[in-house]
Structure 1
């Protein structure tokens, strides 16, 4: 029985999978190998790199023109910067892999008998030289998890490969492909008190190729394999949600499929169709599971390079352009899969937008004592004014201490609000979040089903809460801007209630002056339908009342 794969390379007989060779530019890669080029193939974690590399290796070996081996050298990471331990570990993994994938036992035997006595600074060069000279057929090597290595171990590996480059293909592999999460140019190698870049240590790289996410059509094709295999159907309404949640990130697509078809035990009955309600439950289960993939991503949030980019996104405070962020930092965070930069820089997908603030406020949520029933009215609607009034007092009492404890202090007020709301909404509704550089706001959309039996298929209370920071300038101008933005977002979201929260971050302002509330009537700007993108004032539905709250 096939399953959705969430760990390790996909195996054709065991897993639903797309053709790995169709996910790469096979013609381009074959041309690079024929031209004796050394290059990089990189992609975020768990996007199918290893599956693609193994398929490519088998493809090349089946053609018979090359001897191709794949080696994962992540084990050498344990040596950290000690090349006397790291290089032997990498060489041992490579020698074993050559035997496993090409059948050339002589290479592993030579390494055990002779190679282990060569100094680590030359051992990798000698190993690859010996392998290349064993046969007239050129050798091709795929090295995976190269960027897991650090310090002198990584420098030595890159420089030993570079040292043999001129002898290819007669006395060195015709092509070496470095694989990992990052492009080699993003390697920052600390050695002897200096920082050496990967580009300088490996200046023989011809090109960097990136493995992309699934397309929207490929997401559907993958899930439809389950339908064909088992006869169990997915509601077509699921697919737009799947795309919005994942934007084709392969692990997320597979993990949601696995959650639906296996972890949700009642759906192991293949006669039961899978509905949109099931999908929403699977999505929430996955987010709350804190799965390894999601934990690895959120762990990266503590890195300074990631922090600089993500804090700007989460705060969404000032008009920021790509020019204001270091291109190297931006590229690094994009390579990790946390953001996309086109058409504008933003968090990569809807699930990551949900997971990141939850993870950053996980401890805060657990200490918030407010309970959901306190804010439920008799008609099962959330009493948002009561909730926001309670938040004002909560923020007054706790914000200084709690924000100081956040890793992302720049976005502290927004994160604390989200932690408070998540505590109340968990288990009944959901919160959608929108951030973006230059938007100068954070948009939250609360969706709360009013009928527990019908869930999101029945009537739903939709509430927009927009968050803005006030540091300087005119408060009236900030509110006017915020009201227009809030009304616009509420119209797009189909919300029947909207609120604007202003966090006053000016120093020396008394809490009595920060805490206030009022209501404003606003006409919303919507597309007038002229086709030229012009904005007009919608007058047919009358003004919208928006609550404005000071904190």
Structure 2
């Protein structure tokens, strides 16, 4: 029986999968043209599955040698002879599976005499000439090897053979595909202490890999259609696919994970858009390797942490520049994307996970308990008294933050509210945030508590004109969320500010506003 898969290679006969025929078509054209390239994408981005499916597609026309360097012992990289022998033994393993005995015999005859890269190059030439088909070499997990000089010598040898083939002076692989997180063309080699660090480009023959591995909503629909037919499920496939894309931006792991949660944890026969919200709540509460890697990469780099904070908590609009190493690092980790020339967090689920992480760090550093004890804000019918929550938050800011704290408050004010609200809704509620880039740098928070929805806008005071525009925008957002009442927190950093409260009626909407 098929299932949604979020670990390892996806197998069409075992797993519900997105139809990626168009992506494979583009990659196959590169192979047919004899191109060498690197599929460099963040972890859990479907690289291994792409390599598997591509190998299956190419096997009729090419002899495909697909391997991984992940299992190579680090000691192998300290000795050229050992590395070469391990590589040749791996080739033998692959050729045995393909039943290419003639090529196996050729390698076994020479394996003990090949002691340097030049001799390995000559043996590869003999293999190419002896084979009935062109050979395609695929190496997965090259990051495990790419900081070793021996590995760089190895791909430099392959590069030289490629150039000689272009000149009609050698035979080599039809195409070589390397897969990993990093682009091998731009590696910084890790040398011994005291030695000069340098950039190495032994793979500058490779063409840029421009195939988008994320899934669009139409592609997600293909997976859902298969599931719907197989399970006789009830769903508006197009609407569900669009909703999944809205939150995931097509990230392969997240797409499959949400579908897996709805299928297995919620055990739904009929899928509704609200089930995606339930799945998000489950997903964001769990620990998995994807989220662990996300948070570890942020936690281990203070500059990256601060840049992310600027983007999602302070509403800063950062221009995308591919030469900026910090932006490229965030992109490498799958945290950033280039959205029409602006640096954005890759998807809304990552935004939410980062919000939760940052607000939790702040919550554990502050004493809020006298102010945000849950039972003080729950009515007899189980709903939240949200006006009371805002009033208490206003009191918390007023009593705990004096003028000397203004710099901290301006940077962390909205994060403070997220930390403040978390214990109140924890367990029974779910909050989702969206940054709206504008003069007021709004942060909209949609809180679902039991069956009730509360929409809160957090913004910085920029004067009466922008305030009126903000009221209009909030009313429009309330319409979008199908609620009649909204809430507004305005952070005013002027010295003569007043901690006031107001009920604002705008068209058919009622907005309860507090200033802090």
TM bin (shorter chain): 0.7 to 0.9
1:431 to 2:468 alignment:
no
Alignment map for 1:362-381 (pairs within 5 Å):
362-364=360-362, 369=369, 370-378=372-380, 380-381=382-383
Structure 2 vs 1, CA of residues 365 and 110 (structure 1 numbering), >3 Å: closer, same or farther? Answer: farther
TM-score, normalised relative to structure 1: 0.75
- Contact residue 146 and residue 180 of structure 1 kept, 8 A: yes
Structure 2 vs 1, CA of residues 376 and 327 (structure 1 numbering), >3 Å: closer, same or farther? Answer: same
- C-alpha displacement of 1:51: 1.8
Distance 1:179 1:224 in 2: 30
Deviation by residue 1:320-372 (Cα, 9 ceiling, x = unmatched): 4335x854443443344323322343222221221122133445556864443
Distance 1:158 1:440 in 2: 52
Match of 1:146 in 2: 142
1:463 to 2:455 alignment:
yes
1:197 to 2:179 alignment:
no
- C-alpha displacement of 1:127: 6.6
Q: What is the root-mean-square deviation in Å for CA atoms of aligned residues?
A: 4.1
Structure 2 vs 1, CA of residues 224 and 32 (structure 1 numbering), >3 Å: closer, same or farther? Answer: closer
Match of 1:14 in 2: 14
Structure 2 vs 1, CA of residues 70 and 420 (structure 1 numbering), >3 Å: closer, same or farther? Answer: farther
Q: Paired residue for 1:297, among 294, 299, 302?
A: 294
Match of 1:321 in 2: 319
Partner of 2:207: helix, strand, or coil?
strand
1:46 to 2:12 alignment:
no
Deviation by residue 1:478-524 (Cα, 9 ceiling, x = unmatched): 575356335413432335222234275x9xx8xxx88x521367787
Q: Paired residue for 1:519, among 501, 504, 507?
A: 501
Match of 1:73 in 2: 69
Distance 1:58 1:480 in 2: 61
Alignment map for 1:276-291 (pairs within 5 Å):
276-291=273-288
Distance 2:88 2:442 in 1: 51
Deviation by residue 1:209-265 (Cα, 9 ceiling, x = unmatched): 33321121221221121111121223555444222112222211211111121233x
Structure 2 vs 1, CA of residues 83 and 337 (structure 1 numbering), >3 Å: closer, same or farther? Answer: farther
Alignment map for 1:213-232 (pairs within 5 Å):
213-232=214-233
Unaligned runs of 5+ in 1: 469-475, 525-539
1:184 to 2:181 alignment:
no
Structure 2 vs 1, CA of residues 218 and 317 (structure 1 numbering), >3 Å: closer, same or farther? Answer: closer
Match of 2:162 in 1: 165
Alignment map for 1:93-492 (pairs within 5 Å):
94-95=90-91, 98-99=94-95, 102-104=98-100, 115=111, 125=121, 128-129=124-125, 131-135=127-131, 137-153=133-149, 155-168=152-165, 170-192=170-192, 193-197=195-199, 200-234=201-235, 238-264=240-266, 266-267=267-268, 272-302=269-299, 304=301, 306-307=304-305, 309-322=307-320, 326-343=323-340, 344-364=342-362, 369=369, 370-378=372-380, 380-391=382-393, 412-435=412-435, 441-449=441-449, 452=450, 455=451, 460-468=452-460, 477=462, 481=466, 484-485=469-470, 487-492=472-477
Structure 2 vs 1, CA of residues 346 and 80 (structure 1 numbering), >3 Å: closer, same or farther? Answer: farther
TM-score, normalised relative to structure 2: 0.80
Deviation by residue 1:179-223 (Cα, 9 ceiling, x = unmatched): 22343345333334444335x232111232333211212212211
Alignment map for 1:50-65 (pairs within 5 Å):
50-63=48-61
Structure 2 vs 1, CA of residues 309 and 477 (structure 1 numbering), >3 Å: closer, same or farther? Answer: closer
- Contact residue 107 and residue 130 of structure 1 kept, 8 A: no
Structure 2 vs 1, CA of residues 523 and 80 (structure 1 numbering), >3 Å: closer, same or farther? Answer: farther
- C-alpha displacement of 1:57: 1.6
Unaligned runs of 5+ in 2: none
Deviation by residue 1:90-113 (Cα, 9 ceiling, x = unmatched): 726842563365334676777788
Aligned positions, number: 495
- Contact residue 42 and residue 209 of structure 1 kept, 8 A: no
- Contact residue 318 and residue 439 of structure 1 kept, 8 A: no
- C-alpha displacement of 1:429: 2.9
Distance 1:94 1:300 in 2: 33
Structure 2 vs 1, CA of residues 89 and 41 (structure 1 numbering), >3 Å: closer, same or farther? Answer: farther
